[in-house]
Amino acid sequence: MRILAIIVLSTTLLTGQSGPERPVKCGWGVEPARQPDRIAATMARPIRDTSYLSMDSAFMIHYDTDGVHSPDLTSSQPDGTPDWIVEVATALDSARSLLLSLGFDEALPDGDGIYDVYIKEFGGRTYGETQFESPSTGGGWIAYLEMDNDFADDENYYTHGLHAARVTAAHEYFHAVQLAYPWTGGDIYFYELSSTWFEEVAYPEVNDWVYWYDDFADNPERSMALTNGYSIAFFGHYLTHAHDDIDIMRQVWDRMRQTNATQAIEDRIAAHGGSLVSAWTDCVARLFFNGLAPGYYFHADQDSLSLPATGLPEELSASRSTVFHQLQPGRVGLEALNVDEATNVYFRIQAAPIDHAARLVRLGDTYHLDELSRVRWFTAGVSRDTELILVAGGEQDSVQVDARISDLQLAINSVYPNPLFLGNQPTLDVEYILAEALPPGEHRVIIYDLLGREVYRQKLAAPDGGQIVTLSLPSYRFNTWPSGVYFLRLTMGSTRANSRTFTIIK
């Protein structure tokens, strides 16, 4: 007899999350080697009086023909097998076939080479459970599945009947496949994210996954790794859409043979030329257009998803500085701002790690998502009564963003190096931003000394708007100047000017 020591934990316990009462999508049998002090009992596998072998001979479905665990016994089959059991077996065969076609490993079978599934009355507590049984030599686990017998509880199940049975078969069998990969006992969020994502891949018409999204929408600044996983299944859809490659999820699982889930996601996105910081920032920003602007969707079901919560917007009347603390890959900071008149807003990221990203969402008479910014400034022309939502992500530590209303179309971002040690640095680099393309005119850089005397002038070409420009001034031109403080001014046409000080040291 095969013996299993288990305790079934809900996802709430596994992730440390709390919240309103809701059904658990699935439970996990926690293997005794990792939870020795939490063993509830030593239990044999469930005993059922009848079994049915699936059409592909890959699954044995065990069920009772009487009693509390019995499914609907209505049958149109020649051998009298209940239609419900045949449908469950068909859904499991379909899930297995699809996962194999996507390149995933097959679930580890037990001694007879057939995967066992037990039908059980869960009473609305959970849709199904994946139970650990014994470790494999490759670091994975042999397991078996339990699924509800009818999904008829109207109060606790979001989806009912055969629709629920089908997505549960897809969800739980993917868990069985996941246990063929080395199991570390952590990263439950990605196990659940993946299985909930796969439900939609297998059965796009069911949409049970959208009911679990609101837990994220209520807490959009929570770290990805601290969610229950169900609520961020959308990120799997985002990744496959953004890279036009459904295989990226399989690539993440392959990478998880060597590292944790978050690092595996980061590595696979990097292989596609991006970063988790930028991807998560972009993904969360696009959720603010749910039901509003399909042009920014990455999945059609965003029509059914609510907008993430940001709290009441703050009025941006002159300037505002926001510090987003403890950012990390898979977490963003959000700031909602109201602007009561048409103006220009200049955003400067004052303190940021090497990898940071920001997107500006505009909600008003029109909906617009600004380009993903990975530099330390960006500007926005804002119309009256527009709500701005700043979405900022960072690799580590904190990101400080200053937002300032200004009539300036031009702003100097930096003068570097400052101080300028003559003889050591070949150039003085002036980095500036231009909010809009300028008409023909006299555009120039002028440098003044402390007495206000002009000591240098150079004409500039008029670059296109909406970009960062670096102007390199040869330092040998300053060789005859005395050490001291100088004023550098950029003028664009007759009305635009912006100044910075810098110091020369000989």
Are residues 402 and 414 part of one domain? no
Yes or no: say if 161 and 151 are a contact pair by the CB < 8 Å rule: yes
Lowest mean pLDDT among 7-11, 84-88, 233-237, 496-500: 7-11
Q: Check residue 260 and give its pLDDT.
A: 95
In angstroms, rounded to a whole number, what is the distance separating the alpha carbons of residues 75 and 322? 64
In a domain, residue 261? The reply is no
Average pLDDT over residues 50-70: 98
Return the higher-pLDDT residue of 109 and 66: 66
Give counts: helices (H), strands (E), the chain: 9, 26
Q: What CATH number does residue 501 fall under?
A: 2.60.40.2550
The phi-psi region of residue 301 (left if phi > 0; otherwise alpha if psi is between -120 and 50; otherwise beta) is: alpha
Q: Check residue 378 and give its pLDDT.
A: 62
Return the higher-pLDDT residue of 33 and 421: 421
DSSP run (H or E) holding 68: none
> Is the pLDDT confidence value at 8 over 50?
no
For tokens 């708007």, name the residue.
465
Yes or no: say if 25 and 11 are a contact pair by the CB < 8 Å rule: yes
**Domain stops at, among 346, 376, 406:** 406
Confidence of residue 441 (pLDDT cuts 50, 70, 90): low
> Is the pLDDT confidence value at 165 over 50?
yes
Q: Check residue 467 and give its pLDDT.
A: 66
Are residues 35 and 151 part of one domain? yes
Are residues 444 and 352 part of one domain? no
395 contacts: CB under 8 Å, gap ≥ 6: 275, 277, 327, 328, 329, 353, 354, 355, 356
Tokens representing 75 are 């049958």
Yes or no: say if 83 and 68 are a contact pair by the CB < 8 Å rule: no
> Is the pLDDT confidence value at 18 over 50?
no
In a domain, residue 132? The reply is yes
Average pLDDT over residues 52-70: 98
Q: Check residue 462 and give its pLDDT.
A: 65
In angstroms, rounded to a whole number, what is the distance separating the alpha carbons of residues 252 and 191? 11
Q: How many Cβ atoms sit within 10 Å of the Cβ of residue 459? A: 8
**Domain stops at, among 184, 207, 231:** 184
In angstroms, rounded to a whole number, what is the distance separating the alpha carbons of residues 279 and 266? 9
Identity of the highest mean pLDDT range in 364-373, 384-393, 397-406, 436-445:
384-393
437 CA to centre of own chain: 35
Q: Check residue 156 and give its pLDDT.
A: 86
Average pLDDT over residues 7-11: 32
Confidence of residue 32 (pLDDT cuts 50, 70, 90): very low
Q: Check residue 111 and give its pLDDT.
A: 87
In a domain, residue 62? The reply is yes
Of the candidates 29, 23, 22, the one whose C-alpha atom is nearest the C-alpha of residue 46 is 29
Are residues 421 and 356 part of one domain? no
pTM: 0.79
Are residues 149 and 118 part of one domain? yes
In angstroms, rounded to a whole number, what is the distance separating the alpha carbons of residues 506 and 481? 9
In a domain, residue 234? The reply is no
Yes or no: say if 259 and 238 are a contact pair by the CB < 8 Å rule: no
- In the DSSP assignment, the letter for residue 289 is G
Average pLDDT over residues 12-27: 49
Are residues 152 and 39 part of one domain? yes
Confidence of residue 9 (pLDDT cuts 50, 70, 90): very low
Yes or no: say if 73 and 151 are a contact pair by the CB < 8 Å rule: no
In a domain, residue 277? The reply is no
In a domain, residue 297? The reply is no
In angstroms, rounded to a whole number, what is the distance separating the alpha carbons of residues 131 and 334? 39
> What are residue 126's DSSP bridge partners?
24
Are residues 139 and 44 part of one domain? yes
How distant, in Å, are the alpha carbons of 46, 48, 62, 147, 284 from that of 70?
13, 9, 10, 12, 43
> Is the pLDDT confidence value at 283 over 50?
yes
First to last CA, the chain: 86
Burial class (CB within 10 angstroms; exposed 0-12, middle 13-18, buried 19+) of 71: buried
> Is the pLDDT confidence value at 233 over 80?
yes
DSSP 172-209: HHHHHHHTTSPP-S--HHHHHHHHHHHHHHH-TTT-GG
> Is the pLDDT confidence value at 22 over 70?
no
pLDDT tens by residue, 115-155: 999 999 999 989 999 999 999 888 899 999 999 999 998 88
Are residues 118 and 61 part of one domain? yes
What is the overall mean pLDDT for the chain?
85
Average pLDDT over residues 235-254: 97
Are residues 436 and 397 part of one domain? no
Report the chain's C-alpha Rg in angstroms: 30
Return the higher-pLDDT residue of 239 and 477: 239
In a domain, residue 276? The reply is no
Q: What CATH number does residue 358 fall under?
A: 2.60.120.380
> Is the pLDDT confidence value at 437 over 70?
no
In angstroms, rounded to a whole number, what is the distance separating the alpha carbons of residues 9 and 130? 11
Q: Check residue 41 and give its pLDDT.
A: 37
DSSP run (H or E) holding 285: helix 276-286
349 contacts: CB under 8 Å, gap ≥ 6: 356, 358, 375, 376, 377, 392, 399, 400, 401
Are residues 127 and 8 part of one domain? yes
In angstroms, rounded to a whole number, what is the distance separating the alpha carbons of residues 454 and 197? 64
Yes or no: say if 4 and 44 are a contact pair by the CB < 8 Å rule: yes
pLDDT tens by residue, 180-229: 999 888 899 999 999 999 999 999 999 999 999 999 999 999 999 999 99
| Count of structural domains within the chain | 3
Q: Check residue 196 and give its pLDDT.
A: 97
| Chain length of the chain | 506
Q: Check residue 185 and give its pLDDT.
A: 81
- Give the percent of the chain with pLDDT over 90: 57
In a domain, residue 370? The reply is yes
Are residues 133 and 26 part of one domain? yes
Are residues 397 and 323 part of one domain? yes
**Domain stops at, among 382, 406, 430:** 406
pLDDT tens by residue, 442-476: 788 999 988 888 999 998 876 665 567 888 999 99
Give the residue numbers spanning the domain of 134: 1-184
